[in-house]
Structure 1
Amino acid sequence: MKIIETDRLYLREFVMHDKHELSKVLSDPESMQYYPHPFNEEEVKNWIKWNIENYKRDKHGLWAVILKEGDTFIGDCGITMQNIDDEKLPEIGFHVIKEYWNKGYATEAALACREYALNVLGYSKIFSYTTLRNIPSQKIAEKIGMKTYKFFEKNGEQQIVQVIYNNEG
C-alpha cells in the first residue's frame, strides 16, 4: 500500500519480503558507520517487525522507499517515535542504499515525510537527530527546513537534534 508518493518515489509499508533489499543498506558497514554496527540478518528482520508494530501503534513508521522507475527498492524513510534526550518525539529517519546516494532521493523522501508528519498526522513539530559526525544526514535535515534545536549525549557520543515547526514549512 502506497503511503506517500513524490515525483520519483513512493513510500509503502514494509513486508518481511523486503529483508534482502533492506539488508543492502542496514548491513553495509559504510552506510551504517554512524550506528554502533551494521545489522545482521536477524536485526534486519527485527527492524521490519519493529516498523510493522509502529504502523499498528502509531499509524506511521519507516517505510520502504521505492524508485518509481523500475519499481526499485532503494531504502527506507519515515517517521518513528524516538527517545530524544528522555522525551518521546516524532523523528524523520532514512537510509538509502549506497548506489543511490547523491541523487536527491533521501531529501525527496524526507521532505515528503516532513509534509506528511505536519499536514496529515498533525504534528506541531518534527525532529531529526544524529551523531555530530553524521554531516550528510544533518545536511538533508537542513535542506528540508530543519534548524538546530539542541544537543545531548547518547551512547557516549554527542548528538545533534534538528527541528521544524508546522508553521515554518
Structure 2
Amino acid sequence: MGRYRPPRRRGSAYITPEGEQVLRAELHQLWKVERPVVTQTVHEAAKNGDRSENGDYIYGKRRLREIDSRVRFLNKRLDELQVVSRTPDDTDKVFFGAWVTLEDDDGAEQTWRIVGPDEFDLAAGKLSMDSPMARSLLGRRLDDEITVRSPTGERRFLITEIRYAATG
C-alpha cells in the first residue's frame, strides 16, 4: 500500500478579523522567532562532525521542515482568505460571525459562534461554518427550530438568541 492520501476538501475561505490576527501571529512566531533559533541550532550541530548520529542536527532539520511546511500553508491560506468584518444588514438572521444561543429539548442552553474552518475551537464555543450544525443554522431566524443529525441520532434545537458582538 502506498503513502498516497487523497487531497482534503478545502474549507470555506472566510475568516473573522480575530482569526486572521491569530494566523498572522502564528506565521510571525514561526518565521521570525522559531525558525532563526532552530537554524542556528542546526548550524552549530553541523559543526560537530558526524551528522548521522547527531540528535540536535537530526531533530533540528526535522523541525525546520515542519516550520517551513506550516509557513508555506499559512502564506497560501492567508492569501486566499476573505476577512468578514461587516455586520450583516439583517441581524435577526444567522450569518457568518454570529453568536447563536441554542436550547435543546431538555432546556439546556449552549452558545456557539459561527467562524471559518481555520479558527474553529469547540472548547471556546467556535463552530466551523462547514460543520453540519453550522450549516443547519445559517440563514435561520430567532425562534426557528433546527434538527441536526449526529452519531447518537437526531437532535432538535431552538434558536433563542442571535448576536453579532461578543459580550464579555
TM bracket, shorter-chain basis: under 0.3
Q: What TM-score does the superposition give when structure 2 sets the normalisation length?
A: 0.26
Q: What TM-score does the superposition give when structure 1 sets the normalisation length?
A: 0.26
Q: Greater CA radius of gyration, 1 or 2?
A: 2
